[in-house]
Amino acid sequence: MTLRFSVSSIDGAARCGKLETAHGVINTPAFMPVGTAATVKAMLPESVKATGAEIILGNTYHLMLRPGAKRIEEFGGLHDFMSWPGPILTDSGGYQVMSLATLRKIDEDGVRFRSHIDGSYHKLTPESSTEIQRSLDADITMAFDECTPYPVAETIAEESMLMSMRWAERSKKAFKQKKGYGLFGIVQGSTFEKLRLNSVDALTEIGFDGYAIGGLAVGEGHQEMIRILDITASVLPENKPRYLMGVGKPIDLVAGVIRGVDMFDCVLPTRSGRTGQAFTRNGQVNIRNARHSTDPRPLDELCTCPACNGFSRGYLHHLVKSGEILGAMLLTWHNLHYYQELMDGLRQAISIKKLDKFVQSFTEMQTKGDIKAI
């Protein structure tokens, strides 16, 4: 295992660190924009970088179906294919197989499924998922797992978790070690404390470069997610990065950082940007609302992103209501900029041991809500 992770500052359970990969250094805590099909939707690669993002997430399931992992490998890997020079983490494809594919058949070997695109049959196993991610040249490969549905009986959750642990061991055996590249294991167990702790024990026994907390943000609600985070994050190895998968509301990012999480990803800021929803230091704003149509003020007067520099709320409202592509582009850029600004603020607060003060200010501003209408 050849990823290098170091912690430079600690404030309570929260920590600042650096994760060194083959394609660059990631300052943690970090938020990873999601580039599902080799693109962060509505953004150029240089625009993503301009928001402050240092790593993006690619999607094994979507890329294996279209254009295909071998084709991407022929282009020199995902970095060259999409002109993103920085680090890339790819998920294993397990979640998408469970949520998108039809006629799934799961057994000990893996998952056979039909593509949601053209109905063709495919099979993913721990070995093939790991090989696909190698073909993509992912800096961080995720172990193949089954994302347990919610709600679920404890007996079924246990069977699912134990199979994911066996698949994790096979993923480890299939992974080819290389300097600057690493493999993360994924903690499962649904909302059951015993299962979560057993999963952590199994993964740490196998040994990985990092540990992800999976199976959350699937309908369990914020408080239940926090309970599972409290159970899980504190028992993960302190010398390895911790990654909370698919969780992405600003309040959830802050809650995760407080509990020692180092990495996050979510489609929320990009998907919301494409539907007229903006995240600001004063909470969420629906730019479609008629109150913004005559407002000459920027979305966030303290924000330095392109959407807030030179464009009014009234103009953004017009773009979104008219279905103009520029509206989706500007709001997506703004949301990613805000997320990266939030992570930078958290890193700075941890480094000077002022996290409590930062969180208090963040909470007060979010609770205060948007500026009053004109």
CA distance 19 to 153: 37
CA distance 288 to 314: 10
Strands (E), the chain: 4-11, 14-21, 24-28, 30-32, 34-35, 56-59, 88-91, 102-106, 111-114, 121-124, 140-142, 182-187, 210-213, 242-244, 263-265, 277-280, 283-286
Question: What distances in angstroms separate CA 92 from CA 80, 142, 229, one per listed residue?
Answer: 20, 5, 22
DSSP for 230-279, written as a single string:
HHHGGGS-TTS-EEETT---HHHHHHHHHTT--EEE-SHHHHHHTTTEEE
**DSSP 3-state of 130:** helix
Q: Within 10 A of 179 (CB to CB), how many other CB atoms are there?
A: 10
- The answer to whether the beta carbons of residues 282 and 275 sit under 8 Å apart is no
Residue 232's Cβ-side half-sphere holds a number of Cα atoms within 13 Å equal to 31
Among 11, 91, 145, 295, the one annotated catalytic: 91
Q: Within 10 A of 9 (CB to CB), how many other CB atoms are there?
A: 16
CA distance 227 to 323: 40
Active site residue 265: yes
Among 11, 137, 265, 370, the one annotated catalytic: 265
CA distance 149 to 267: 19
Active site residue 145: no
Token pair belonging to 35: 């580039």
Active site residues: 91, 265
